[in-house]
Amino acid sequence: MTPPFRVAVVGCAGRMGRMNLTTIHATEGCVVAGGSDQPGSPAIGADIGGLIGVDPLGVTVTDDPVELFAQADAVIDFTTPEATRRHAGLAAQAEVVYVVGTTGLAPEDQAVVEQAAIQTVVIQSANMSLGVNLLQILTEQVAKALDADYDIEIVEMHHRHKVDSPSGTALMLGQAAAAGRGVNLDDVACRARDGQVGARPRGEIGFATLRGGDVPGEHSVIFATEGERLELSHKAGSREIFAKGALKAALWGRGRHPGLYSMRDVLGLAD
């Protein structure tokens, strides 16, 4: 009999952390290898089953990620950029499949993730859903087909607790639009507007951010010109799609060569 695939979750008391635990627990052939959260979190020491509303699993939440990485085949990380930097180093040492969903990474955080991918399998995406990864491809294709007479605006909405802005997904869509146009996003992005900002420069890619309530994530890419407007949209109904995508990525990564992979690789959508 094949042994179960042991998947651990760092930041397991968070919104995505709990959803990841629930998904692993419900998936045949996978077991929850453990979960961690930051020191001082009220979840430390609690049974993971209690955290996700099922019978006790006999595994408690730890604040020691070193121990956690040692007992897992894969680790799923939806935490903070600072925590992800540490976890990436541990993933490289333990050579586990490492799935990173954390957004808002600064270039120096990203460099640590890329360094880890030299030693182990890392799958990273700002959005683990099938729909958004398809939206990314469509955005690039449409941006390629339309010239700069079409103004590109990216609008996103998330729940009131989200800390980074624009969302990682909005930036990912902006990168796709810029790639379609053959430009560098940093050269054309307008990430916020306030006051007498003047007329919209031709070729700009604009971002607008809405925050409120419990919205798991909504994104639209708008191509607007005189006389018509094309809008591509995705709406997440629940966080489950991200957790299912993350576990799919972990399973896909089993036995692969070290490297940095994306959800497009996992979903078979890469060129």
Which chain residues interact with ligand NAD by CB under 6 A?
Answer: 10-11, 13-17, 36-38, 41, 78-80, 83, 101-104, 125-128, 168, 242
Distance in Å, CB of 215 to ligand NAD, minimum: 11
Catalytic, 234? Answer no
Distance in Å, CB of 200 to ligand NAD, minimum: 28
Instruction: Please provide the DSSP assignment of 139-158 as one string.
Output: HHHHHHHS-TTSEEEEEEEE
Which residue of the set 87, 161, 162, 219 is catalytic?
162
* Closer residue to ligand NAD (CB): 21 or 30: 21
Closest residue to ligand NAD in the complex (CB): 14
Catalytic, 257? Answer no
The letter for the amino acid at 162 is: K
Rounded distance between C-alpha atoms, residue 165 and residue 167, angstroms = 5
Cα first-last separation, the chain: 36
Distance in Å, CB of 11 to ligand NAD, minimum: 3
* Cβ burial 35-63 (10 Å sphere, 16+ → b, else e): bbbbeebebbebebbebbeeeebebbbbe
Assess contact for 234 and 218: CB atoms under 8 A: yes
Assess contact for 168 and 104: CB atoms under 8 A: yes
Which residue of the set 25, 87, 158, 257 is catalytic?
158
* Closer residue to ligand NAD (CB): 34 or 180: 34
* Closer residue to ligand NAD (CB): 6 or 15: 15
Positions marked active-site: 158, 162
